[in-house]
Amino acid sequence: MFKHSATETGIRYGLIGGFVYVLLSYLQYTFTPENPLRFFVYKLLTYSVIVVLYVMAARERRRNLGGHASFRSLVQVLVITITITEIFLTAFNYVYLNYIDPQWTAE
């Protein structure tokens, strides 16, 4: 079995997480701005999905290391994954709120 490095695993799950987070955020901005309770529930669901992706990244890293991983190895994968995911989300939020729908914050 080919074993991926922490960087490869982190980048892969970061890209997946980034695309999923952007998609879920777009759906959230499009369908839930008028109802604060629905917005909150959708945001909670979005965070849950992202946390599951982070857990999957850590579990894959542990599996690549033969079932045992050090704390440092798992944190390394998670830092890379979270950083890439948040870069995607930050870029999306900037573009969406400034260019696509600048009136969203006024609603």
**pLDDT score of 17:** 95
Residue type, 32: T
pLDDT tops 80 at residue 33: no
State how far Cα 48 lies from the chain centre: 10
pTM of the model: 0.87
pLDDT beyond 80 at 43: yes
End-to-end CA distance of the chain: 52
pLDDT for 91 equals 97
Tokens of 78: 């998670």
pLDDT band at residue 41 using 50, 70 and 90 as cut-offs: confident
Task: Please state, in angstroms and rounded to a whole number, the distance separating the CA atoms of residues 81 and 83.
Answer: 6
Quick count: other Cβ atoms within 10 Å of Cβ 81? 28
Question: Predicted confidence band at 37 (pLDDT cuts at 50, 70, 90)?
Answer: confident
Tokens of 55: 């857990």
